[in-house]
């Protein structure tokens, strides 16, 4: 279904979309299912892929990532049209979808693989991230514990993780509600 929608999307794109406008960003925000849902709705986002990044094991598997033996984080690869949105806007959306003060993971998912990480690919992105963190810390008078790491490699997660929130809607809603994700985000961000 998603592939068919992507094909239709690309066929209906304005002529000015070209490879120069296509960019990627990598965010780890706990459960990648929830992150996927949040970013799929964003104008200018072309595709989201759940996967793993930040670790030392090549081609990691979910069962090993969640055991915290790979060094990887559940990460979302976001492909976007930079003529519609940009890194800074996507970073702002990222923040309001995580708890940047939780040093143990995110929501009900705890452990190293569920910690929040913003990956940067260049010095400009790193500066934007650092300024954004400073603004959040000033606003809340609390230390942001989200890691800032240089992006190295992204590994696509197993097929059953892709578009999980769409393919397993009821299960996903039960998980999301059970983790009190929305309630926690509302307490933090309003």
**This model's pTM is above 0.85:** yes
Residue range 81-126, pLDDT digits in tens: 999 999 999 999 999 999 999 999 999 999 999 999 999 999 999 9
Question: Could you read off the pLDDT of 30-88 as tens digits, one per residue?
Answer: 999 999 999 999 999 999 999 999 999 999 999 999 999 999 999 999 999 999 999 99
Q: Please, what are the domains in the chain?
A: 20-189 (3.30.1060.10)
Is 179 a residue of the active site?
Answer: no
Which of 31, 34, 108, 179 is catalytic? The answer is: 31
Who has greater pLDDT, 67 or 9?
67
For the chain, give the secondary structure using H, E and C.
CHHHHHHHHHHHCCCCCCHHHEEEEEEEECCHHHHHHHHHCCCCEEEEEEEEECCCCCCCCHHHHCCCCCCCEEEEEEEEECCCCCHHHHHHHHHCCCCCCCCCEECCEECHHHCEEEEECCHHHHHHHHHHHHHHHHHHCCCCCCEEEECCCEEECCHHHCCHHHHCHHHHHHHHHHCCHHHHHHHHHC
């Amino acid at each position: 279904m998603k592939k068919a929608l992507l094909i239709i999307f690309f066929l209906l794109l304005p002529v000015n979309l070209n490879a120069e406008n296509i960019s990627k960003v990598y965010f780890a925000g706990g459960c990648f299912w929830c992150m996927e849902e949040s970013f799929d709705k964003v104008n200018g986002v072309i595709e989201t892929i759940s996967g793993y990044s930040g670790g030392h094991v090549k081609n990691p598997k979910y069962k090993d990532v969640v055991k915290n033996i790979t060094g990887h984080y559940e990460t979302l690869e976001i492909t976007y049209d930079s003529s519609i949105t940009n890194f800074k806007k996507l970073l702002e959306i990222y923040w309001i979808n995580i708890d940047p003060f939780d040093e143990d993971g995110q929501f009900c998912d705890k452990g190293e693989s569920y910690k929040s990480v913003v990956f940067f690919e260049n010095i400009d992105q790193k500066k934007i991230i650092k300024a954004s963190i400073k603004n959040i810390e000033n606003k809340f008078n609390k230390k942001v514990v989200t890691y800032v790491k240089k992006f190295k490699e992204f590994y696509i997660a197993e097929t059953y993780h892709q578009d999980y929130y769409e393919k397993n809607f009821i299960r996903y809603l039960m998980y999301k509600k059970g983790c009190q994700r929305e309630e926690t985000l509302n307490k933090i961000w309003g």
